[in-house]
Amino acid sequence: SSPDSDGMTPELEKAGLLNKTKIAEGGRKLRKNWNPSWVVLVGNSLMFFKDPKTQNSDSWKPGNSCPESSVDLRGAQLQWANELSSKKNVFKLRTVTGNEFLLQSDTDSVIREWYSTILKVIDRLDKE
């Protein structure tokens, strides 16, 4: 049987390294602090782990360690936000709770894939 024969384990949609900064918490603006983050999209959640280069390679895997933070994508908003940074390829993710993150990659194809994958999840949740 498959590892998810009960259908209860959310699907891993995507994982990879992006630059991340949180710019608002509950609607209150925060000072930017860009850092590389191992980003994992599982089910309805976007989870942020420490850059795996700074720790052992298995520790990001779900179940092996706690994410530094986790975002519920239900009701979230996604938009390109190049005007919010001097960096290229930046988008902004805003949660229903008013937390805002900027995510960035120097590689165009990488950031485009993340944008469309996250948008697909948000759209799917909007239709539920």
Binding site for ligand I3P (CB under 6 A): 31-32, 34, 85-87
- Residue number with CB closer to ligand I3P (25 or 123): 25
- Residue number with CB closer to ligand I3P (20 or 78): 20
Q: Is 128 helix (H, G, I), strand (E, B) or coil?
A: coil
- Minimum CB separation from ligand I3P for residue 58, in Å? 31
CA 50 to chain centre: 12
Determine the residue with CB nearest ligand I3P: 85
For residue 105, which of 6, 17, 7 has the smallest C-alpha distance?
17
Q: How many helices (H) and strands (E) does the chain have?
A: 1, 8
- Residue number with CB closer to ligand I3P (69 or 85): 85
